[in-house]
Amino acid sequence: MNDQSASSSEGSSHDPEEAARGQSERERCELARSRDTVASYSTDDLVQIAGRERILNFIDSNPDALYRTCRDGHLTASGLVIDRAGERGLLTLHRKLERWLQLGGHVDGDGDLATAALREAIEESGIDSLEVDPRVVDVDVHSIPAHGDEPEHLHLDVRFLLRAPEGARIDASSESIELRWVAPHELDEIEVDQSVRRLFDLAFGPNR
């Protein structure tokens, strides 16, 4: 889940018209719901504005944007889990990507992106009683490298902040090599990309 990057894969081989013909009413409603969530994201940052508009354009061009079957790319939802004291964020050393990232993943047709981020965070952290703030705090469009039969594709990630309960115990899923609570000043001790630092700034910075 790295910084926004240009890619020529959008619309390269996918057939949006065919996807639209097979779309059910429920799927159309979920897609519209996701679009409303992305459109609600208010920011003055020009890079973030460009990312928001890129995701909106992708949704408008790809009726199956919520599904992994959209081979050019698809929406994902993620979030930074913050401990109850508001001092540390939870990061995963992702098994496939071998990088420290916030928790999250595929939405698999769920247009309620905040709920999707919450579901993924619960699955990956083992913390059942997480709480999610439904407001979008960040977006990031990045390329995922080819893996096995899966070609290179885009993840259009919509991001949230989540809160863990007091005394939360973490239990890493098979997707993680390790889970770790990290304080902002400890980010330099592990290799994280700029988008993860951005989430920490949003969660712990002076304007939080």
- Give the whole-angstrom CA distance, residue 121 versus residue 164: 10
The pLDDT value recorded for residue 202 is 95
The pLDDT value recorded for residue 20 is 63
């989540």: which residue's tokens? 162
- Give the whole-angstrom CA distance, residue 16 versus residue 43: 29
Query: What single-letter amino acid sits at 187?
Result: L
Residues contacting 19, CB < 8 A, separation 6+: 62, 63, 64, 70
The pLDDT value recorded for residue 18 is 63
Specify if 6 maps to a domain: no
Specify if 192 maps to a domain: yes
144: helix, strand or coil: strand
Count up the domains in the chain and report the number. 1
Pair 140, 48: CB distance under 8 Å: no
Specify if 9 maps to a domain: no
- Give the whole-angstrom CA distance, residue 207 versus residue 176: 31
- Give the whole-angstrom CA distance, residue 191 versus residue 207: 24
Domain that holds residue 173: 17-204
The pLDDT value recorded for residue 8 is 35
For the chain (208 residues), the mean pLDDT of every run of 10, in chain order, is 40 58 86 99 98 98 95 97 97 90 97 98 96 98 87 96 96 90 95 95 84
3: helix, strand or coil: coil
Specify if 4 maps to a domain: no
